[in-house]
Amino acid sequence: MSVKDNLNTIKSELPEEVALVAVSKTKPNKDILEAYQAGQRVFGENKVQEMVQKWEGLPKDIKWHMIGHLQRNKVKYMAGFVSLIHGVDSPRLLKEINKQAKKHDRVIPCLLQIHIAEEDTKFGLDQAELDELIASDTFKAMENIKIVGLMGMATFTEDESQIRREFAQLKSTFDDLKTKLNDITTLSMGMSGDFGIAIEEGSNMVRIGSSIFGARNYS
């Protein structure tokens, strides 16, 4: 199967209201261009350097999403062009994004990452940290970021009921956040292995890599 065929298969499985982020990390520009030529415009990367290089070499109407864990000192390299940052998991990171966005005279849309998995290795805020963040004066004073929703990753497990439970928990946090902030529209949950369950539980943005581009080789 080609990238184009894989992409079309995935798209045929997604309801119209669910946005697709094609996760192109580790994949070469030629694979991204194949997806681009098949109509895909939104791509996700998890390393800033790699995303900057790809942004430089590829068509400028691509929307680049940063989906990985983000270090504060890297924000400046992508602040001029990144279109959505999925993994915001601390007030300090948000502050840095706000500062760099201001330098570029833009407002950067962000998703707050919520910790829903059992594993400690996954990043994200818990409910108390989320509540504290959105109630803080520093948050209210930030004019160059806009929180548009939440992102989360379920536990890596065969246990479907656990995955479902974790996604349902994130959906309920999302619905609650909508009552507290304006402009909350996006719930980013679901990857190649679990996007079907994520959509059933209310996701409207899925991040899919290997099912489109094939397995990744980390060297």
Ligand X SMILES: *Cc1c(COP(=O)(O)O)cnc(C)c1O
Residues of this chain that interact with ligand X (CB under 6 A) are 23, 25, 46, 67-68, 153, 191-193, 207-211
Rg (the chain; Cα; Å):
17
User: Least distance (Å) from ligand X to the CB of residue 204?
Assistant: 15
Q: How far is the CB of 107 from ligand X (least distance, A)?
A: 23
CB of 210 to ligand X, least distance (A): 3
Q: What are the angstrom distances between the C-alpha of 55 and each of 43, 58, 106, 160?
A: 10, 6, 18, 36
- Shortest distance (Å) from residue 125 CB to ligand X: 15
Nearer to ligand X, 142 or 205 (CB): 205
**Closer residue to ligand X, CB minimum distance, 25 or 142:** 25
Nearer to ligand X, 12 or 182 (CB): 12
Q: Give the shortest CB-205-to-ligand X separation in angstroms.
A: 11
Residue pair 150/113 in contact (Cβ under 8 Å)? The answer is: yes
Strand partners, 149: 111, 186
Q: Which residues contact 170 (CB under 8 A, 6 or more apart)?
A: 114, 116, 150, 152, 187, 189, 201
Closest CB to ligand X among 23 and 51?
Answer: 23
Return the H-helix or E-strand segment holding 206. Answer: strand 205-208
Asked whether the beta carbons of 77 and 46 are under 8 A apart, the reply is: no
Q: Which is nearer to ligand X, 21 or 184 (CB)?
A: 21
The angle at the Cα of 15, spanning 110 to 117, to the nearest 5 degrees, equals 50
Closest distance of CB 44 from ligand X, Å: 7
Q: Select 68 or 149, whichever has its Cβ closest to ligand X.
A: 68
What letter does residue 18 receive in the DSSP assignment? -
State the residue number with the nearest CB to ligand X: 209
| CA distances to 20, 37, 42, 77 from 29, in Å | 18, 12, 14, 19
